[in-house]
């Protein structure tokens, strides 16, 4: 008696958070955003998510998010801010928040890119957090060109405003099954997300 190891049904796609018809971030995983407009990427992501957002950043960093700058993307009242005083507590807070499954989106605004081991721990924590329901999503914000090891995807975002037009260049630099690609992202009205137009890689200045 033979047994078929491969079924006819296609594999079920992992649930994700849709930023745009062309961009879906897988839940239960940790992603990375870098570049000078990485916080704009994070607030855009928050605007497309539901429920509270936990934003973890170091207490020794003087700069804080401006609610007026957040408003075009997401309601600042949805954000919970945590500011650890020790560097080792930044990743610990993010890992525990992902493991709890209590908050759908956890953002770690970090002073540098973490190593592979803590990122792996955060992936496992996010999977555990989704054991009883919808899995959370983790987003690491890293300066410069990023470089966190083991992340599911890496995005680079830089402002490209022209006059009154709010525009950015968004580049997907890493994805497990997708090639690098760049878009011009334009905001036409508040809370409506961003419109994306694909551009050639050689035309991107980042």
Model pTM?
Answer: 0.89
Identify the three-state secondary structure at position 54. strand
- The pLDDT of residue 5 is above 50: no
Q: For residue range 133-171, what is the model confidence (pLDDT) as tens digits?
A: 889 999 999 999 999 999 999 999 999 998 888 999 999
Q: Name which of 141, 154, 94 is nearest 118 in CA terms.
A: 94
Q: Name which of 191, 170, 189, 182 is nearest 76 in CA terms.
A: 191
- The pLDDT of residue 199 is above 60: yes
What are the structure tokens assigned to 107, written together? 């953002």
Rounded to the nearest 10°, the torsion over CA 22, 202, 177, 139 is -70
**pLDDT tier at 24, thresholds 50, 70, 90:** very high
DSSP 157-168: EEE--BTTBEEE
What are the structure tokens assigned to 125, written together? 């924590």
Q: How far is it, in rounded angstroms, from Cα 66 to Cα 136?
A: 25
Q: Name which of 111, 105, 62 is nearest 88 in CA terms.
A: 111
The fold adopted by the segment(s) 16-152 is Rossmann fold (3.40.50)
Averaged pLDDT for residues 197-201: 81
């Amino acid at each position: 008696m033979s047994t078929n190891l491969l079924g006819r049904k296609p594999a079920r796609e992992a649930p994700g958070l849709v930023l745009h018809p062309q961009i879906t971030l897988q839940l239960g995983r940790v992603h990375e955003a870098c570049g000078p407009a990485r916080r704009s990427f994070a607030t855009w992501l928050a605007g497309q998510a539901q429920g509270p957002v936990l934003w973890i950043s170091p207490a020794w960093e003087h700069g804080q998010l401006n609610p007026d700058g957040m408003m075009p993307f997401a309601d600042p009242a949805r954000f919970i801010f945590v500011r650890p005083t020790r560097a080792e507590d930044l990743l610990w807070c993010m890992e525990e928040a992902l493991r709890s499954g209590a908050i759908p989106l956890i953002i770690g605004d970090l002073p540098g890119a973490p190593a592979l081991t803590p990122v792996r721990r955060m992936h496992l924590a996010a999977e555990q957090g989704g054991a009883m329901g919808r899995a959370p999503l983790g987003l690491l914000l890293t300066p410069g060109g990023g470089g966190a090891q083991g992340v599911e995807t890496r995005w680079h975002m830089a402002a490209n405003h022209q006059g009154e037009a709010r525009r950015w260049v968004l580049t997907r630099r890493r994805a497990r099954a997708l090639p690098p690609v760049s878009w011009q992202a334009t905001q036409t009205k508040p809370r409506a997300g961003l419109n994306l137009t694909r551009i050639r890689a050689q035309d991107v200045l980042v």
